[in-house]
């Protein structure tokens, strides 16, 4: 740590074309102190960190070698590996292994823990899901992680039949009438607009399918299977023309994903329309 910190201080000093004497004079320390920092013999006192950060126009995190953006990038690479390599194929245990390996590198990371939540089947391990979700809800400072954990907590509580606690968890999730992706698609241009619109399109389609599933289940419960069948057929009618419009490199996987979604949600797939 000291050597790395000293190397950074030396690099920043040279970038400003300063001698050790000039840096020492600017910071109000001895030249020997600067020399010891740079060679790793000692580290700056903790009280010196704000002055160093201000002088070099860096954050205190950077002085200690902590790069938040690099950490976030590395975490998302782990999440992407877990999703593309395992979870998308239905191998949740495989995805969980990748995420838990990531936790050894980034202990207690909220994003990794949240993705581990998504690998736990509430029907098979509701208590484990509840315990992890409750812990994450309390500790995280990330709103998206907190609300996703509340969603999964509610699913596990519903699985256990605790509908009062399920409703209480859902009440903590704010009602949103628009999304960032939606407005990025409306207001941005070029590739940023395309990426946002594509993501929102498929999220909206999955949400639409879920709502039709909910309606179909309700209609069946009140003895109107004809209405339920109308909802089921409407989902299929929506999927058939939309899936071929995918222009991404994951077009084939997207088709497979939604066909699998259809099977698990509504049962046997009717023949495609047309």
pLDDT band at residue 250 using 50, 70 and 90 as cut-offs = low
Give the model's pLDDT for residue 234.
80
Classify domain 68-171 at the CATH class level: mainly alpha
Q: What is the pLDDT of residues 209-218, one digit of tens each?
A: 778 878 888 8
Fold designation for 2-63: 434 Repressor (Amino-terminal Domain) (1.10.260)
pLDDT of residue 109 exceeding 50, the answer is yes
Q: What is the pLDDT of residues 66-103, one digit of tens each?
A: 667 778 888 999 998 898 878 767 788 999 999 999 99
Give the domain ranges of the chain. 2-63, 68-171, 183-266
Concatenated DSSP letters of 153-207: HHHHHHHTT-HHHHHHHHHTSPP-SS-HHHHHHHH--HHHHHHHHHHHHHHHHHH
For 172, residues 6+ apart whose C-beta sits below 8 A from its C-beta are 150
Q: Which of 21-35, 147-161, 176-190 bottoms out in mean pLDDT, i.e. has the lowest?
A: 176-190
Tokens linked to 201: 């399109």
Tokens linked to 55: 């002088």
């Amino acid at each position: 740590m000291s050597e790395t910190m000293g190397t950074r201080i030396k690099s920043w000093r040279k970038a400003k074309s300063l001698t050790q004497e000039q840096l020492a004079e600017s910071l109000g320390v001895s030249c020997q102190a600067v020399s010891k920092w740079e060679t790793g013999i000692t580290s700056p006192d903790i009280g010196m960190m704000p002055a160093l950060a201000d002088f070099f126009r860096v954050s205190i995190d950077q002085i200690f070698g902590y790069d938040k953006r690099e950490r976030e990038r590395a975490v998302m690479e782990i999440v992407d590996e877990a999703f593309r390599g395992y979870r998308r194929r239905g191998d949740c245990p495989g995805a969980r292994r990748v995420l838990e390996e990531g936790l050894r590198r980034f202990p207690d990371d909220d994003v990794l823990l949240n993705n581990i939540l998504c690998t736990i089947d509430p029907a098979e391990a509701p208590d484990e899901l509840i315990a992890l979700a409750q812990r994450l809800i309390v500790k995280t400072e990330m709103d998206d992680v907190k609300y996703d954990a509340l969603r999964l907590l509610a699913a596990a509580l519903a699985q256990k039949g605790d509908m009062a606690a399920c409703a209480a968890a859902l009440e903590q999730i704010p009602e949103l009438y628009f999304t960032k992706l939606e407005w990025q698609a409306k207001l941005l241009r070029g590739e940023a607009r395309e990426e946002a619109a594509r993501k929102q399109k498929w999220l909206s389609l999955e949400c639409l399918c879920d709502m039709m599933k909910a309606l179909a289940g309700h209609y069946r419960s009140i003895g109107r299977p004809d209405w339920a069948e109308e909802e089921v057929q409407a989902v299929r009618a929506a999927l058939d023309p939309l899936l071929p419009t995918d222009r991404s490199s994951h077009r084939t996987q997207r088709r497979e994903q939604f066909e699998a979604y259809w099977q698990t949600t509504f049962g046997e797939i009717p023949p495609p329309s047309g």
